Amino acid sequence: MAKTGTTTQGLRAAIERSGYYPALVAEAVEAAVGGEPIVSYLVHQETTFDANEVRRHVTVLVLTGNRFIVSHTDEQAADGTSPSPYATTSTESVKLQRISSVVLSRVVANPESYTPGTLPREVVLTIGWGAVSRLDLEPAACGDPNCEADHGYTGSSTADDLSLRVSEAGDGPDSVRQTLAFAQALSEATAATPDTGR
């Protein structure tokens, strides 16, 4: 389930509608936003199945005039560190100038008969700002098939700070629409923000 909008009251209402520890999530998000006006937000709750457990978590994305805020809350079962179930919530505030990429992948059915404006079956929003990078390495080689020298490694680094998948089947068409709206608002905000050398 994803909800988007542009007001503080709307953000709180979307968090409450998600039904996922709304007091905890709202307090963390509102503290991170502070008094800044909200340009756009997205609340996305996901349920995953891990072996014999059902686990829920919620991600809240907020765009202000100067910052991108991401909050993530998930629950944990009782374990060796806690005799009772608990939830962990974290927020990160990123200046818009630091956002290096906003990638929106769309999956459409029957592309040969696609008409503009048709809702994608699924979207994946990936946002990078340099906090997390993934390295893919492989042994380097030269063109000589008989060479036994160690040429070190070669690879690539990919920004992979946040990836959010929303599907029509799992989350509903409104959630897909709202994710598209948030992605557009964030793309426009980062395009309009001057690059200050990060």
Distance CA 139, CA 129 (A): 28
Q: What is the pLDDT of residues 38-96, one digit of tens each?
A: 999 999 988 777 677 777 889 999 999 999 999 999 988 888 888 898 899 999 999 99
For 22, residues 6+ apart whose C-beta sits below 8 A from its C-beta are 15, 16
The 122-128 sheet, strands edge to edge: 101-107, 122-128, 162-167
Which residues in the chain come in under a pLDDT of 50?
1, 3, 198
Which regions of 21-143 does DSSP assign to beta strands (E)? 38-50, 53-64, 67-76, 86-95, 101-107, 122-128, 133-139
Residue 64 phi, psi (nearest 5)? -110, -175
User: Exposure string (b/e) for 56-82, b if CB count within 10 Å is 16 or more?
Assistant: bbbbbbbbbeebbbbbbbbbeeeeeee
Rounded to the nearest 10 degrees, the angle between the axes of helix 8-18 and helix 22-33 is 150
User: By CB neighbour count within 10 A (0-12 exposed, 13-18 middle, 19+ buried), where does 28 fall?
Assistant: buried
If we measure between CA atoms, which residue out of 84, 77, 65, 173 comes closest to residue 123? 173
Residue 1 confidence (pLDDT)? 44
pLDDT value for 115 = 93
Sign of the CA dihedral with 197 first, then 189, 1, and 8 last = positive
Q: Is 154 helix (H, G, I), strand (E, B) or coil?
A: strand
